[in-house]
Structure 1
């Protein structure tokens, strides 16, 4: 749950809780030190603790014991619920260009990555978005009539979503209580958080840290298979990755320098960093390697459920 809390912290553009800025064990140690009550003992009225008494309220400790496992509804109330940009805006002449231009950059929600219990509303909303994005793709391939096509698909999404909502238990999406037709569509259009489709990043995606040379050790397989990458990293990985974390960057740069000289002296097609105008070849090659590391890390995050971090 602390991971979910930190993810929520970084999604808000304000000062973040200082423990979240730490990594690994240091983060958990920080939270542990800052805990006001590590024993989890219930403080009664008779204790000497400095508690605030509320007039008309009598503390009943037996009512607070509960079960060891909270119900899904209770968890939804107690934990930070992930954000999702729903409903999608209604396609029109002002946003159709953004719908098609940003199509590949908008988030998709992998079914296996969604929570199985307690978040039925999220499953239904993400399913509606996934289907709509696939159909938008078909509309955007048309040379003419993409706006009309997209609006037709959007209306179908609304009708299908509300049909599923009414079958589900619990509170339904408010607009689905409206009359079918234009009244229903207008409600969805007004409720859209991003009607212009300007956002290109998923709100549920945690911010990624800038790539470092150390990251080569867990991304090298993906990098080596990428098209256009001019170097072999096998020797760098064999020699540098067994070293302690602090020693890896210098080792990788040294290996990169040696390998770069061999590549630049070869008669085959040479990479950009071998050009005479490049004054510092190693710096150029390092930037290139970091760019590929960043891409590999981003691809890995996308495959491993980057949208939802309900832990």
Structure 2
């Protein structure tokens, strides 16, 4: 009789484990189904989904080009993040998309200033890079004001005050690359024309 009861209990346990594989690791609890992964959301190592707005906090705004960071800005362009359209969901995250576009533009235009044959010497390259930075952020602010949402606080400022605002909020002031990262090729969505007369 005892043997029969033992066999029945064992059989019930085996059926339970087959139905709920997580029950062995968490006695008394059913296994929790995993949330579906979305291809358009970037993930951290381990598969954790990164919110695009959070991602932008670590990348936007880019630093103002200066004598101190120009060398890194030119050398490490392929090692800094880009934000192609597939990084974002099909709807929502409009601010992150605008910020991502601004970064893509600046990185593309920095490449033109550094290696596109537009400039001669560090002085002209720096002038070109600053103009590219200001132009990209000006477009960003225009796009911010074209929405019905609150605009970035720096966009509410004018002239040098606006540029100082963006500069102080840059999370990567020295234009350092990400270890092991290689940026995808993203064609610029608009042209940049450097005006050397501004130097």
TM-score scaled by length of structure 2 = 0.60
Q: Distance in 2 between matches of 1:187 and 1:128?
A: 16
Q: Distance in 2 between matches of 1:101 and 1:87?
A: 19
1:124 to 75, 83, 98: 98
Deviation at 1:107, TM superposition (A): 1.6
2:132 to 149, 153, 161: 153
User: SS state of the match for residue 87, structure 1?
Assistant: coil
1:201 to 178, 181, 185: 178
Instruction: Tell me: CA distance 1:168–1:92, structure 2 relative to 1, closer, same or farther (3 Å).
Output: same
Partner of residue 192, structure 1 = 170
User: Does the aligned pair in 1 maintain the 2:82–2:184 contact within 8 Å?
Assistant: no
Deviation at 1:181, TM superposition (A): 0.9
User: Does the aligned pair in 1 maintain the 2:22–2:30 contact within 8 Å?
Assistant: no
**Residue segments in structure 2 that go unaligned for 5+ positions in a row:** 1-20, 33-48, 186-199
Q: Distance in 2 between matches of 1:35 and 1:172?
A: 50
Q: Distance in 1 between matches of 2:164 and 2:149?
A: 24
Deviation at 1:112, TM superposition (A): 2.9
Q: Distance in 2 between matches of 1:103 and 1:149?
A: 15
Partner of residue 88, structure 1 = 62
Partner of residue 21, structure 1 = none
**Residue segments in structure 1 that go unaligned for 5+ positions in a row:** 1-27, 40-78, 203-207, 209-297, 304-311
Instruction: Tell me: CA distance 1:34–1:147, structure 2 relative to 1, closer, same or farther (3 Å).
Output: farther
Deviation at 1:116, TM superposition (A): 2.2
Q: Distance in 1 between matches of 2:108 and 2:69?
A: 17
Q: Distance in 1 between matches of 2:55 and 2:27?
A: 27
Q: Distance in 2 between matches of 1:181 and 1:34?
A: 63
1:143 to 110, 116, 120: 120
Deviation at 1:143, TM superposition (A): 3.3
Partner of residue 260, structure 1 = none
Runs of 4 or more, structure 1, over 4 Å off, are 32-39
In angstroms, what is the RMSD of aligned CA positions?
3.3
